């Protein structure tokens, strides 16, 4: 069972999508309302949705025909860093801080008890399927980071899984780790979607395949896959650090880190299209657009 949001006649609709791909609009504004109502009735979210759609007809449209929105308006998107060996290698490759034989901050965080967590995005900066992700105008080395996203309640319960793209500037981050917020956060630098797969319907969240494809002039130029079994940490561990002495809001998304890195000579270009696929969740597809350089006036 998955949850989507779409736009119809200027109305935002929340809907459940069954395993046979039938779309059922729900009388709620977002997934978190459904979760709260199910809790109130002391039944699981899936059982509650089943009671809501039982005896109803789905809409006569397939998911691909809908004007999909981000599956949740996440008040904040947080992200985890260096949770996969592949990310550690990539960070060490790009950093100018690496001295021969010396451990980097990336080596240390990979092995430390405390994970790297950072604020990735806010609702206004986060986009859904098919909307453009933007390229920063002051970076020459930009890539998508395909990641599994945890959708959590304010208590830290993982209620669903989605796909996230943690767009990143390897040159800015590599120049100085203190530039991380600029390497990670700008307008439309985070995409999530196309759906949220309800956690209770995922058999093994540590065995999910992620595949990233990048198209240039409609030609496939990058295709790489990874599996969440390569993750060095547990999801609950990441969530528990996020909750430490923190106020977390219902519907927060926590990205769990990347294990897919395009070849080191690759950088995204205006007009590219990024697809990230996780079977059981869907394909998050976004075109890439350049942000126009701003002139700074004193
Ligand atoms: O340390 C920088 C962030 C790394 C990251 O975003 C990732 O591993 O996914
Ligand atoms: Mg990342």
pLDDT digits (tens, 9 = 90+) for 3-51: 999 999 999 999 999 999 999 999 999 999 999 999 999 999 999 999 9
Tokens in use for 189? 């630098």
**Closest ligand to the CA of 115:** 1
Q: Which of 82, 98, 181 to mutate to test the pocket of ligand 1 (most atoms within 8 A of CB)?
A: 82
Residue 275 has φ and ψ, to the nearest 5°, of: -120, 130
CA 111, 112, 115 angle in degrees (round to 5)? Answer: 105
Report d(CA 283, CA 275) in Å as an integer: 6
Q: Identify the residues whose C-beta falls under 6 Å from ligand 1.
A: 79, 81-83, 87, 91, 116, 145, 166, 257-258
Kindly report the protein residue whose alpha carbon is nearest to atom 9 of ligand 1: 257
Report d(CA 101, CA 13) in Å as an integer: 55
Residue 98 has pLDDT above 90, yes or no: no
Report d(CA 38, CA 274) in Å as an integer: 35
Q: Which of 116, 146, 190, 230 to mutate to test the pocket of ligand 1 (most atoms within 8 A of CB)?
A: 116
Report d(CA 125, CA 190) in Å as an integer: 7
pLDDT tens column, 222-268: 999 999 999 999 999 999 999 999 999 999 999 999 999 999 999 99
């Amino acid at each position: 069972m998955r949850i989507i949001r779409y736009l119809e006649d200027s109305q935002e609709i929340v809907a459940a999508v069954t395993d046979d791909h039938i779309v059922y609009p729900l009388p709620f504004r977002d997934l978190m309302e459904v979760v709260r109502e199910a809790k109130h009735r002391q039944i699981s979210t899936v059982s509650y949705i089943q009671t809501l759609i039982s005896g109803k007809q789905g809409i006569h449209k397939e998911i691909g025909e809908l004007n999909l929105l981000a599956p949740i308006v996440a008040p904040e998107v947080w992200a985890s860093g260096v949770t996969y060996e592949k990310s550690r290698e990539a960070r060490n490759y790009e950093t100018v801080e690496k001295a021969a034989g010396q451990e980097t901050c990336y080596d240390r965080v990979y092995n430390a008890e405390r994970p790297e967590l950072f604020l990735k995005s806010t609702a206004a900066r986060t986009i859904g399927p098919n909307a453009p992700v933007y390229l920063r105008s002051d970076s020459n080395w930009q890539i998508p980071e395909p990641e599994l996203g945890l959708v959590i309640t304010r208590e830290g319960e993982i209620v669903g899984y989605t796909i996230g793209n943690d767009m990143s500037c390897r040159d800015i981050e590599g120049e100085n780790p203190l530039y991380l917020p600029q390497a990670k956060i700008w307008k439309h630098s985070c995409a999530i979607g196309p759906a949220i797969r309800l956690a209770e319907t995922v058999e093994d969240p540590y065995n999910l395949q992620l595949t990233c494809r990048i198209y240039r002039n409609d030609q496939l130029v990058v295709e790489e896959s990874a599996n969440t079994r390569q993750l060095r940490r547990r999801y609950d561990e990441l969530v528990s650090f996020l909750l430490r002495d923190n106020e977390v809001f219902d519907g927060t998304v926590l990205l769990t880190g990347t294990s897919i890195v395009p070849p080191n000579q690759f950088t995204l270009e205006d007009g590219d299209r990024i697809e990230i696929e996780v079977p059981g969740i869907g394909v998050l597809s976004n075109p890439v657009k350049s942000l126009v350089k701003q002139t700074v006036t004193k």
